[in-house]
Structure 1
Amino acid sequence: MTRPLAIFDIDGTLVDSRGSIFEAATEASRALGLPEPDYDRVRKIVGLSLPVALRELEPLLSDADLTRFVEAFKAVFLRMNSDPDFHEPLYPGAIETVRRLHRDGWGLALATGQSRRGVARNLAREGWADLFLSSHCAEDGPGKPDPAMLHAAMAACDAEPATTVMIGDTSHDVMMALNAGVLPLGVAWGFHTVEEQQAAGARHVAQSFSELSVVLDGFAALTKAA
């Protein structure tokens, strides 16, 4: 019997990175002499690979200026991460839910728009490396909403679409899940609104990790009964 697989996004789903991403986008814009973006514009691009995200933020940039924008964004994040006081907190209930799923026999993986460096930073959190069977990011291949990361995760974890769920906070996560033929679940505390995720096709958008756990338990029961 194939065990269920839960693939988690990171930013806005497990980790509250709203402040740091907005700060990086703001400082990178200043570095290029661009108008400072408002938060609503920035939140909509989170989850996409960085070049695609920043192209959406500033669609009129030349290719050369887009490259400068990407490098400026990376430089800000590198500087922030080098500060010993820098911390992106987990959302309440995140680690407890992931650990409980692991104890219950779920396969767990990550699929994120972060860089490989960002993934490594998060996997260095206490206990994370022992929880997730695999991790996949836009640097590995096409980013969201292309299904490549989910296909790779299912291959790495020996899972089938029918027993796999993608959990994220953006419409990009939802569309990636649909493109891969897996169940798209959303969370209400990240970057995209409940309505935006539902419009993209999310089957359920949880208001808390407790609610998400109930939905996942129901999914696991259905997969075992199939």
Structure 2
Amino acid sequence: MKPLAVFDIDGTLVDSRVLIHEATVAAARRVGLADPSYDVVRQTVGLSLHEAMRAIQPGLTDPELAEFVAGFQAFFRARYEAGHEEPLYAGVEDTLRRLKRDGWRLALATGQNRRGVARNMARAGWADLFVSTHCAEDGPGKPDPAMLIAAMAACGACTATTIMIGDTGHDHRMAVAAGAVAQGVGWGFHTAQEQIAAGAVHVALDLPELEAALDRFAAGQRAA
């Protein structure tokens, strides 16, 4: 059976660190809140937007939370309407295409909404790379295993042949809950120590190290 690599987006494939913090600060100012620090914001990335914003400002009423969320979405919408596209980490495109050539099945599991997924899938060639995409709007968000279980079902994979690649503890807790292998990357939102504590079996510090880890995983599947 071909191995399945399920990728997170923000902080794993796409460098959205600055923009997500800027959007959260803009949203906070819109509702009269103090600017949240990057360290507070980064801990919530990967959760669904409502869960993330509630974690950043847990004392908000439901109407205040709705306004906070709306401010975040408005910031991103204005940036995208102005033609902004968040950059891929250098080398990501080559890594994804190499995995596809080597026979991997690829999927996405992200805390973004469907609009965000669609924007990413509109990148040149991405529609041909990924078998399926799964996001927080499809059901329970990370760290609930629902997204990853859905990805395995859509790709005809099982837990033994599935590896989840992400940059946050939310990704890894989801992988552990689903029974898949949790593979970390060290260039996103959570530290290597935070990822290991959440269940990552390894944290790659660059893309060549990630590819080597995935090669080992694939070799193990072939030997089984």
TM-score bucket (shorter structure) = over 0.9
Instruction: Work out the CA distance in 2 between the residues paired with 1:189 and 1:153.
Output: 24
Unpaired segments of 5 or more residues in structure 2? none
Instruction: Work out the CA distance in 1 between the residues paired with 2:79 and 2:28.
Output: 16
1:44 aligned onto 2:43 = yes
The 5 Å alignment of 1:36-185 reads 36-84=35-83, 86-185=84-183
TM-superposition CA deviations, 1:138-163 (whole Å, max 9, x none): 00000000000001000000000000
Q: What residue is the counterpart of 2:203 in the other structure?
A: 205
- Give the letter for the 2:90 counterpart: P
State the SS of the aligned residue for 2:59.
coil
Unpaired segments of 5 or more residues in structure 1? none
Which segments of structure 1 move beyond 2 Å, counting only runs of 4 or more? Answer: none
% identical equivalent positions: 62
- Give the letter for the 2:93 counterpart: I
TM-score of the superposition, structure 2-length normalised? 0.99
Corresponding pairs, count = 224
State the SS of the aligned residue for 1:98.
helix
TM-superposition CA deviations, 1:86-137 (whole Å, max 9, x none): 1311111111111000000000000000010000000000111100000000
State the SS of the aligned residue for 2:43.
helix
State the SS of the aligned residue for 2:32.
coil
TM-superposition CA deviations, 1:183-207 (whole Å, max 9, x none): 0000000000011001111100000
State the SS of the aligned residue for 1:185.
strand
1:15 aligned onto 2:14 = yes
TM-score of the superposition, structure 1-length normalised? 0.98
TM-superposition CA deviations, 1:19-53 (whole Å, max 9, x none): 11011100000000000111110111000000000
